[in-house]
């Protein structure tokens, strides 16, 4: 015999708020499968907006505490944590008042990437800051949580995904004129490096680069994805413009190094996304510090530059990733660092930054669906 009711459980869980979305779990529709079995054994499912939710454990504990406080007769509680990634409302870049060819514009009936829930651009002011390294480790980290993830190497002039995934000789299959993305470490991949020699891409002119990017969007079988990540070239050139005009981006992640934040290039990249109304999910500071064997952090290039830049520019700070020789080695030998060194301090830093990205995506999606 059970003496508690589903209504009591719902009432208790209505007092638990999602800390980011600022509404209670019942109103948000996150509670399901409430079961009360013999002897007041309770189980239910909480469905979060991303499998990479940094608040997962906190939310679970809050549920348990609320039930223990408000329904004291419950004898055992089992909380099943699940997730369903929310879709971007689709922010779309303006056209800068300039001309562009409308055939692949999202106003057409067949919106490109319609089964892709969120599109994230990883950008930077200048090259060599670790943008590709972060994009790769972000992709595999999200995939490890169970999300469906794709990664496009949009740096046509310096593709690095083939090297970083150990796929230098791989070629994507073509089926009925569509490219099938390669897949490794749970991530679907496309790079110009799979199609042409690395040195051919360098001489590409703007219009060719734009059409290559459009091809990656419209002629690749991405199928269903929770997150599609674009590893952009540095700066604010043709490829960036093409991207924001061709598809609705959920948001952009800016990667900097501490010594790079002082440069005007970072501000220019921030301004570019703002000008075209692409939300900036936040800023990641890479090569922030060097961790000494005793665990202390040596801030070789100064302390908290990225965090201060983020604050003064009204951006979320997504995290700081140390300089780590093994990060570079992982990039060179084709094994993303986080897969080879799970649990290390550096992996933990990458993991936190990746979860912050997922969290900002969820918040952005909730905010924009609330204003519709
Ligand atoms: N946190 C890090 N620690 C050590 N080396 C890094 C780190 N991040 C990136 N690197 C190395 O720095 C170089 C540039 O990184 P990359 O990701 O290619 O930069 P970008 O895409 O911005 O041009 C690569 O050799 C990479 O392995
Ligand atoms: Mg790169």
Residue 229 shares a structural domain with residue 151: yes
Which pLDDT value is given to residue 111? 75
pLDDT above 50 (res 346): yes
Distance CA 354, CA 318 (A): 8
Strand pairing partners for 344? none
Residue 177 shares a structural domain with residue 225: yes
93 within a domain of the structure (yes/no): no
Structure tokens at 98: 């300039």
User: What pairing do the DSSP bridges indicate for beta strands 187-191 and 182-184?
Assistant: antiparallel
Residue 252 shares a structural domain with residue 307: yes
Tell me the pTM.
0.91
Lowest mean pLDDT among 24-33, 109-118, 361-370: 109-118
Which residues crowd ion ligand 2, with CB under 5 Å?
Answer: 131-132, 155, 160
The residue-averaged pLDDT of 158-165 equals: 94
From the CB of 66, is ligand 1 less than 6 Å away?
no
pLDDT band (50, 70, 90) for residue 278: very high
89 within a domain of the structure (yes/no): no
Q: What is the CATH number of the domain that holds 221?
A: 3.40.50.300
pLDDT above 70 (res 100): no
pLDDT band (50, 70, 90) for residue 357: very high
96 within a domain of the structure (yes/no): no
Q: What is the CATH number of the domain that holds 68?
A: 3.30.300.130
Residue 202 shares a structural domain with residue 330: yes
Tally Cβ neighbours within 10 Å of residue 183: 14
Residue 75 shares a structural domain with residue 121: no
pLDDT above 50 (res 319): yes
Tally Cβ neighbours within 10 Å of residue 88: 22
From the CB of 287, is ligand 1 less than 6 Å away?
yes
pLDDT above 70 (res 163): yes
Those residues whose C-beta lies under 8 Å from the C-beta of residue 169, and which sit 6 or more positions away, are: none
Residue 24 shares a structural domain with residue 147: no
135 within a domain of the structure (yes/no): yes
361 within a domain of the structure (yes/no): yes
DSSP 8-state assignment for residue 24:
B
291 within a domain of the structure (yes/no): yes
92 within a domain of the structure (yes/no): no
In angstroms, what is the span from residue 133 Cα to ligand 2's centroid?
7
**Of the bound ligands, which one is closest to the alpha carbon of residue 126?**
1
Residue 45 shares a structural domain with residue 155: no
Q: What is the pLDDT of residues 252-272, one digit of tens each?
A: 999 999 988 777 899 999 999
Residue 50 shares a structural domain with residue 195: no
In angstroms, what is the span from residue 135 Cα to ligand 1's centroid?
11
**Of the bound ligands, which one is closest to the alpha carbon of residue 157?**
2
90 within a domain of the structure (yes/no): no
Contact 49, 83 (CB under 8 A): yes
Residue 224 shares a structural domain with residue 325: yes
Which pLDDT value is given to residue 23? 96
| The CA-based dihedral angle spanning residues 139, 298, 128, 317, taken in that order and rounded to the nearest 10 degrees | 50
From the CB of 323, is ligand 1 less than 6 Å away?
yes
Q: What is the pLDDT of residues 211-244, one digit of tens each?
A: 889 999 999 999 999 999 999 999 998 899 999 9
Q: How high is the mean pLDDT of the chain? A: 90
As for how many domains the chain has, the answer is 2
130, 135, 341, best to mutate for ligand 1 pocket (most atoms within 8 Å of CB):
130
Which pLDDT value is given to residue 101? 42
Which pLDDT value is given to residue 263? 79
Residue 239 shares a structural domain with residue 115: yes
Residues spanned by the domain of 160: 102-370
If we measure between CA atoms, which residue out of 327, 340, 334 comes closest to residue 170? 334
User: Going by CA atoms, what residue is nearest to atom 1 of ligand 1?
Assistant: 323
From the CB of 154, is ligand 1 less than 6 Å away?
no
């Amino acid at each position: 015999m059970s003496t508690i009711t589903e209504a009591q459980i719902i009432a208790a869980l209505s007092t638990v708020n999602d800390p980011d979305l600022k509404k209670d779990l019942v109103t948000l529709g996150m509670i399901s499968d409430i079961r009360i079995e013999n002897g007041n054994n309770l189980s239910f499912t909480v469905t979060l907006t991303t499998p990479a939710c940094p608040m997962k454990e906190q939310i679970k504990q809050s549920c348990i505490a609320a039930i223990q406080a408000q329904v004291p007769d419950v004898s055992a509680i089992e909380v099943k944590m699940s997730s369903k990634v929310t879709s971007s409302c689709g922010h779309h870049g303006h056209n800068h008042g300039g001309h562009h060819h409308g055939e692949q514009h999202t106003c057409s009936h067949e919106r490109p990437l319609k089964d892709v829930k969120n599109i994230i651009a990883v950008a930077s002011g200048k090259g060599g800051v670790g943008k590709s390294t972060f994009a790769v480790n972000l992709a595999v980290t999200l995939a490890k949580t169970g999300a469906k993830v794709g990664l496009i190497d949009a740096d046509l002039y310096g593709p690095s995904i083939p090297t970083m995934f150990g796929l230098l000789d791989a070629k994507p299959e073509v089926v009925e004129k569509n490219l099938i993305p390669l897949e490794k470490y749970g991530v679907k991949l496309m790079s110009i490096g799979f199609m042409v020699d690395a040195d051919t891409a360098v001489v590409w002119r703007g219009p060719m680069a734009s059409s290559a990017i459009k091809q990656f969007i419209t002629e690749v079988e991405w199928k269903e994805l929770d997150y599609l990540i674009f590893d952009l070239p540095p700066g604010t050139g043709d490829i960036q413009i093409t991207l924001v005009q061709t598809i609705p981006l959920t948001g952009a992640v800016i990667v900097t190094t501490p010594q790079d934040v002082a440069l005007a290039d970072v501000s220019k990249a921030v301004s570019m996304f703002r000008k075209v109304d692409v939300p900036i999910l936040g800023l990641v500071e890479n090569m922030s510090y060097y961790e000494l064997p005793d665990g202390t952090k040596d801030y070789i290039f100064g302390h908290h530059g990225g965090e201060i830049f983020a604050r003064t520019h009204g951006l979320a700070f997504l995290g700081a990733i140390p300089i780590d020789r093994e990060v570079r080695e992982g990039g060179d030998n084709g094994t993303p660092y986080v897969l080879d060194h799970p649990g290390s301090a550096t992996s933990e830093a990458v993991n936190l930054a990746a979860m912050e990205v997922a969290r900002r995506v969820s918040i952005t999606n909730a905010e924009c669906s609330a204003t519709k």
